Every structure is written in C-alpha cells, then in structure tokens.
Structure 1
C-alpha cells in the first residue's frame, strides 16, 4: 500500500467545506469524477457502516473510523459490492481491506485547507492521482458558491 496525499485551499469556512463533503446533495456532485451518480449511505457517525456506491450500484463497503466535525474524517475501507454481491474476505479484498481515507480540514489565513491522505493499492495509484484533483476542484467550486 502506498499513501497518497492531495490538498486544496478553499475560500470558505471549515463548516461549509465539511457540509459539502458529507452533504446528501453535494456528495454526489464532488464525487462525480470518480463515478457519475455516486452516493454515500451512512450517518457519518464514528463506528457506522458506510456504503459508497456508483450509479450502477457497485461500490465500497466501509466504516467511519473517526469523525471530528469540521476537522477530521477517517473512512476505513473493508470491501466491495459488485453486481449486488458484497465481498469482504476474498484474497483480492484482503490485499487492501482496512485501508484508510482521511480528510483533514484546517484554517489557513481565513481559508480552509482540505487535505486527503489515503492508502492505495498500486494498480489504483494513477487513477487516484488523476481523479482526486478533479474531485477537490469540484468541492472547492461548491463550497465557494455564495
């Protein structure tokens, strides 16, 4: 596993950026670069199950490892859903199960820095390096709307 890091400076308070990240209406918008029709099925509380799915229903099974509102969100990825079937223990899944995706928000001169740190299996590195900057830019646009 390799740890990747992405960050963006957003001209909005942390509270607004946080609301964009986890908002029912905004989550599908900023995650569209990963998959059109993305949605998050979770209450975002620490320890809660989270299913992140694409428009076709495939996706990831995860849990909220930590949630400190407006500061830090950690998602632990546990498995995949493919064609409606949940896989938490195949050999392929075991290679990356337990990997973390962490979001940190901090104030920087009246703006908010959103830093993403994530564990990534080698075959996903190029995809993440191309897609995360697009997703962060979309989140920035949403958070900076008046």
Structure 2
C-alpha cells in the first residue's frame, strides 16, 4: 500500500477544526470535493462502524480505530457499500481493505496543524494527491470563517 500525507495550517483552534471535520453540517461540505452528497453515519465512538456514503448510498464501511477528541481520529476501512448495503469482499476490495485514514491535530499560538495520513492502493494515489489538498482548503475556509 502507498502512504500519502497531507498537511495544512488553519488559523483556528483544534476544537473548531475537529468540529468542522466531523459534524453533520460541515462534513458534507468539505467532502463534496470527493463526491457530491457525501455524508458519514456513525455514533462517533471508538470501535464503532462508520458508513462513508454518497447520495446514492455507495461508499465505504470503516471502523473508528482511534478517537482522541480534538486530537486524533483513525479509521480502518473494512469494505464497500452499494445502494446502502454492505457488499461482500471481492478481489478488488481486498487490495485495500484494512487501509487506514488518520487525522492528527496539533495547536500552537492559535494555529492548528492538520495532518492527514492515508494508506491506499497505487490506483488511488493520483486521485487523492489531486483531491485531498482541495478538501483541506475547504476545511480551512470553514474553520476560519467565524
């Protein structure tokens, strides 16, 4: 698997950045960069499942591996969703199952450094290198608005 890392400095507290990342109102705004209609369904507790879905119910099934509020969120991707139903594993999904997506927030002097670390397939590398910086720019805009 390929390791990708993205960083951005945001002129806001890490609590505000955390809220932008994971609340039901702003999550769809910054993830629209990847696909319109994005949403996440979860109880947001460590060990719980998260469904990352688009407007058609397609997306990923993941597990919250680590949750340290306002500091760290780590997802382990388990499989795919199709039209709201979890799909059985196949050869293609097995290539990336178990990949992680991690978010780390550190604050100093009112500036939060957000680092995102992904492990994924070579096939997705170019896509994420293009899209993640755009998504993080939206996070920055939302967090710095007020």
TM-score range, shorter chain: over 0.9
Structure 2: unaligned runs, 5 residues or longer: none
Asked if 1 retains the 8 angstrom alpha-carbon contact of 2:56 and 2:84, the reply is no
Please say if 1:102 is aligned against 2:102.
Answer: yes
Measured after TM superposition, the shift of residue 108 of structure 1 is 3.3
Tell me the matched-pair count.
Answer: 146
Q: Under a length normalisation based on structure 2, what TM-score does the superposition of the two structures give?
A: 0.96
Matches within 5 A, 1:1-146: 1-146=1-146
Q: Under a length normalisation based on structure 1, what TM-score does the superposition of the two structures give?
A: 0.96
Q: Distance in 2 between matches of 1:43 and 1:142?
A: 23
Q: Distance in 1 between matches of 2:120 and 2:108?
A: 27
Structure 1: unaligned runs, 5 residues or longer: none
C-alpha distance after superposition, 1:10-57 (max 9, x if no partner): 000000000000011000001010011100001211100100001121
Measured after TM superposition, the shift of residue 83 of structure 1 is 3.6
Measured after TM superposition, the shift of residue 85 of structure 1 is 3.9
Measured after TM superposition, the shift of residue 87 of structure 1 is 2.2
User: Aligned with 2:25: secondary structure?
Assistant: coil
Moved over 4 A (4+): none
Q: Distance in 2 between matches of 1:27 and 1:106?
A: 20
